[in-house]
Structure 1
Amino acid sequence: MSVEFRPMRSVIYVDVCREEYRHRLQHWLYGHHIQDSISNFGPYVTKYAFYNALPVPPEGERFGTRRMQMTEHYWLVNEMEPEMRNKAIAEHMPMDVLRWQGCVPDTDETPHENLDGDVGRSIGGDNGCPPFVFAHVPISWEEDFKGKGRMVCDGPNYRWQFVIQYPDGVSEEEGERWFHEEIVPYFQARPEVNRFLSSRIYHDVVGCTFHRLVELWFDGPEEWYQAAVEGAKALPKPVWAQQERFPFLKSNFNIVGMFLTDIPTSDNLTQFRGYITMR
């Protein structure tokens, strides 16, 4: 079987569980991971970028907000296909990388072996720790709910990007109905929302269990708070709610996201020149 041409976009949400680890995680990302990644997927990835996370706004913890960075890829093929399994170069991914992110327990008993990269990107969620989020979606947004026609010159955007997974016992059909009948109309009507887009997540690429990727743009964190916290108090609580107030989903397990700016911190394929330190 030949490799199938399948353009996709993916997002990875990287957390840092303690400030003690932020510089260590950044050293691994820029000192090891970028060059390892490009060495492996350079021929079939067209964009590979890092976006630093903005500070968590008030009450943002309830929304599963991660604090390190979002990693974005644009793929030409599905590298998880059997034909792509043999990699000439192994990734440097020590278990500490997952410890720093909170995907495995933060203890000195954490083993120090090097992980297969694909294994490392699927850890968490079934060990009591938050899952590693690696979500693939269509290369273009599937649904455009608000703000079509907005341009770069219309101003900088405070991007709230997140994934949701409907709780156990709630069918995808029921969850989608709640999203489209309750959440979409509410945010469409909020004056603070400048842009609102969403896509369903592919389950057949890396086995991601989340159902939907969502992105809303605001002028800033104060506008986000007015819409997502203050105004959302009026949203009715579904019978399956995992917390009393919107987003009604279990933080870090059923909703995970990040606050971002428009431009990447590093567009790695075009800007990365190596781990060059300053003194």
Structure 2
Amino acid sequence: MAMGFEFKIMRSLIYVGLAKEEYRPKLMDWLYRHHIPDSISTFGPYCTKYAFYQAYPTPNEGERFGARKMQLTEHYWLVDEHMPEMANRIMTEYMPMDVLRWQGCIPDVENKRVHENAESGDAGRAVGGDNGCPPFIFAFVPINWEEDFRGKGRTVQDGPNYRWQFMIKYPDGISKEEGEKWFYDEVVPYFTNCCYVNRFVSSKIMINYGATAFDRVSELWFEGEEEWYKAVVEETKSFIKKPEWAQEEEFPYLKPQFNIASVFLGDIATMDAYSQYRGYIPMR
């Protein structure tokens, strides 16, 4: 059977959560011991960038914005690896279900041995949100931002950036058009004119992998978490109108982890896997 591969350049964003600090060493061990080499050996020929951005500490009240506490994983793709032609892999990725437990995406049920789990985590990544736990977030977006609202022309000479990247999913029961109207009528004008915001860009999400169905990703830059708090927590109370379909009483008016998820980051990747990974070498 002939295979047809379509050139489809995209960027993907994985928001990696952390159920509790107890699990950070376990998740780090799996990521660096198993996941990076597994990933590079699989998609090296058709993925041009593979990087981790360690999450900054969650700012005050960041929990209600759905803060994911582990990292952002970012890829730049040449093809869509989820098309049928890519289904047959010579080797299966090592991803026990406990990885999803450490991330908080499945119930935190103790297992004495990782291999006692019934399913692989790869299957677990395709579910979530319907088990009461935050969903695994794996979204594909345009390689460049679609809309540039504020801060065009900023350079590295202008200083470091405190990056707030977030995805939103409009609530069930309203149309995407209604949700987008609120975004453009309320969110965009406020942040575009906010003195604490140094950069503001946004894109629609092209593909959601698995059960999640986020609609939009945006990124705003600030001097630091204090400016983020002033702009996003304090001043939104006076300037961003609560929609009729609000799920929560305060901005962002969306259910954290399910309808809004955030990562707080710096400019520099913690690990550029292609150029920096040299194997799992512990230090003592």
TM-score, normalised via structure 2 length: 0.95
Cα distance in structure 1, aligned partners of 2:237 and 2:163? 21
Aligned to 1:181: 185
Aligned to 2:166: 162
Aligned to 1:265: 270
Q: Which of 144, 149, 152 is equivalent to 2:148? A: 144
Cα distance in structure 1, aligned partners of 2:50 and 2:27? 18
Cα distance in structure 1, aligned partners of 2:212 and 2:108? 24
State the 1:43 CA deviation: 0.2
The 5 A counterparts of 1:17-36 are 17-36=19-38
Q: Which of 133, 138, 143 is equivalent to 2:137? A: 133
Change (3 A) 1:39 1:113: farther
Asked if the contact 2:139/2:208 (under 8 Å) is kept, the reply is no
Say which SS state the counterpart of residue 235 (structure 2) adopts.
Answer: helix
- Give the count of matched residue pairs: 278
One-letter code of the match for 2:102?
A: W
Q: Does 1:256 align with 2:235?
A: no
Aligned to 2:249: 244
Change (3 A) 1:64 1:215: same
Cα distance in structure 2, aligned partners of 1:10 and 1:245? 29
Q: Does 1:214 align with 2:214?
A: no
State the 1:205 CA deviation: 5.8
Cα distance in structure 2, aligned partners of 1:31 and 1:205? 24
Change (3 A) 1:250 1:193: same
The 5 A counterparts of 1:91-102 are 91-102=93-104
State the 1:204 CA deviation: 6.6
One-letter code of the match for 1:122?
A: A
Asked if the contact 1:163/1:257 (under 8 Å) is kept, the reply is yes
More displaced, 197-206 or 55-64?
197-206
Percent of aligned positions that are identical: 62
State the 1:203 CA deviation: 3.2
Asked if the contact 1:192/1:224 (under 8 Å) is kept, the reply is yes
Cα distance in structure 1, aligned partners of 2:127 and 2:260? 17
Structure 1, unmatched stretches of 5+, are none
Cα distance in structure 2, aligned partners of 1:278 and 1:260? 25
Q: Which of 79, 83, 105 is equivalent to 1:81? A: 83
Aligned to 1:224: 228
Say which SS state the counterpart of residue 192 (structure 1) adopts.
Answer: coil
Cα distance in structure 1, aligned partners of 2:109 and 2:140? 31
Q: Which of 8, 11, 14 is equivalent to 1:9? A: 11
Asked if the contact 1:90/1:116 (under 8 Å) is kept, the reply is no
Cα distance in structure 1, aligned partners of 2:219 and 2:127? 25
Asked if the contact 1:202/1:208 (under 8 Å) is kept, the reply is no
Change (3 A) 1:205 1:106: closer
Asked if the contact 1:93/1:120 (under 8 Å) is kept, the reply is no
Structure 2, unmatched stretches of 5+, are none
Asked if the contact 1:91/1:116 (under 8 Å) is kept, the reply is no
Asked if the contact 1:78/1:205 (under 8 Å) is kept, the reply is no
One-letter code of the match for 1:275?
A: Y
State the 1:202 CA deviation: 1.3
Change (3 A) 1:204 1:278: closer
Cα distance in structure 1, aligned partners of 2:95 and 2:19? 17
The 5 A counterparts of 1:188-203 are 188-203=192-207
More displaced, 205-214 or 159-168?
205-214
Q: Does 1:62 align with 2:64?
A: yes
Cα distance in structure 2, aligned partners of 1:91 and 1:183? 40
Asked if the contact 2:100/2:121 (under 8 Å) is kept, the reply is no
